A and B are shown apart, each in its own frame.
Chain A
Amino acid sequence: MVMHAKFMKQFKGFKVDVEFKMGNELLVLFGPSGTGKSVTLKMIAGLITPDSGHFKLQDKEFYNHSKGVNAKPQERSIGYVFQNHSLFPHMTVRENILFGAKGLEYNQSQIDADSMIESFNLTGLENKYPHEISGGQGQRAALAMCLIRKPKALLLDEPFSALDTPLRHKMRQSLKDIREKFNIPMILVTHDSEEAKLLGDRILYYDNGTITGPQL
């Protein structure tokens, strides 16, 4: 198993208690809003600290409550595409992608940015600001920004929910391509059942903070 996550987190009147393992596959977290899917992603990312549990990625333990291990989000090398605001509005497309190239040597980051721009069909848009490009182009740039550093896993929180239907179909294809190109664990949160079935190697059904569907 490449990833093993077990989290418990108590909120006011709401508890998230989940456990799952996954390989280099695309796992879909499916369920209605407010059932803890996004919270799960944030706990994997290290943006929310669980009350208890553990989280392992590629044999590296990033969180373990009983051992007092809790790596910062910066140390986890996990890509995260957020539902909205996926790009930084004050940077051009190219600057956004390069902002994701943290830790790469300067010349290498320039070369990688060029190849990302090409493979994500962003040629000609490099010097445009996010408000000057379409939603679909923005999400492609966001994916490029998250993937340039070759993360160990990719989290996608309803990345296509703001796009119209034809564009969603296109983006789903892009995601399939990414899935094949980057052989890493990918977790997609969605409440669109068609999207879940089409993209997911496996689907976990969420309800009221727990996984009710196929598990482990």
Chain B
Amino acid sequence: MLQSIILSLQVASIATILVAIVGLAIAYFLTTKKFPGKELVEVFFTLPLVLPPTVVGYYLIILFGRNGFLGKLIYNYTGWTIMFTWYAAILASFVVSLPLMIKASQAAIESVDKTMIDSSYMLGHSQFDTYLKVVFPLAKKGIIAGIVLSFARAIGEFGATLMVAGNIPGRTDTMPLAIYGYTATGDWKSAHIMVIILTLISGIFLYTANRFSKRNF
């Protein structure tokens, strides 16, 4: 049981760190660049939010499976496949929580007063510098909200994880998968404990993050 808790925290933390970096970079790109087909790109990055996790998992199998487009290349080159490893659990959590990070930080970035950006440009700061030193700090609350949501989504991820990482005891059974396993085998006591622990972890994390984001600059 402890093993599942540690695994879940590891998977969700690593996925959240990756989501925060990649999501913020994509949000920056989408708010500052104009290019043809931009709307399609936005739809592409939002899709995992509305698709059933099983469908996301299915796409990941097609892409990263041993015979998948990318998975085949990786397997031929290294003899290794991501499928049914805990890396696959990270991948699944990453993909399903990325849209939340992008949407939250994009909205926060767009709400920053345009005058602030103009003012920074007039002081000689480049676009990248301006975003790093002015826009992101001012959009901090929204960005933190995005990270919190991503973590919450990642730690609760079930469907896509089951598809790509399976439910291998001691290896890929994150808390939601373990809860499913306990329930399926009638081990209600373990299920109860795990559900309470998962609820507490999510609750404590949300509370802390909420307090933090309310602090003023």
Does chain B have a CB within 8 A of A146?
yes
- Interchain CA distance A187-B142 in the complex, whole Å: 37
Interface size class of B (residues with CB under 8 A): 10 to 19
CB distance from B138 to the nearest CB of A (A): 6
Main secondary structure of the interface of B (DSSP, over half): helix
CB distance from B131 to the nearest CB of A (A): 13
Contact of A80 among B116, B118, B125, B138 (CB under 8 A): B118
Chain-B contact segment, one of A16-24, A49-57, A86-94, A190-198? A86-94
- Number of interchain pairs (Cβ within 8 Å): 57
Contact of B122 among A78, A88, A89, A103 (CB under 8 A): A78
A61-97 interface (Cβ within 8 A of B): 72-74, 77-80, 82, 84-86, 88-90
Does chain B have a CB within 8 A of A100?
yes
CB distance from A175 to the nearest CB of B (A): 18
Q: Which residue of B lies closest to A87 (CB)?
A: B119
Q: Which residue of A lies closest to B126 (CB)?
A: A74
CB distance from A82 to the nearest CB of B (A): 5
Contacts of A84 in B (CB 8 A): 115
- Interchain CA distance A165-B113 in the complex, whole Å: 27
Contacts of B123 in A (CB 8 A): 99-100, 102, 145-146, 149
- Interchain CA distance A151-B124 in the complex, whole Å: 10
Does chain B have a CB within 8 A of A47?
yes
- Interchain CA distance A47-B130 in the complex, whole Å: 15
- A85 near B119 (CB under 8 angstroms)? yes
- A103 near B217 (CB under 8 angstroms)? no
Does chain A have a CB within 8 A of B205?
no
**B116, B119, B122, B134: most-surrounded residue (chain A CB, <10 A):** B122
- B138 near A73 (CB under 8 angstroms)? no
Contact mask A15-51 → B, CB, 8 Å, 1/0?
0000000000000000000000000001001010000
**Contacts from A to B (Cβ < 8 Å):** 42, 45, 47, 72-74, 77-80, 82, 84-86, 88-90, 99-100, 102-103, 129, 145-146, 149
**Contacts from B to A (Cβ < 8 Å):** 113, 115-116, 118-126, 133-134, 137-138, 140, 217
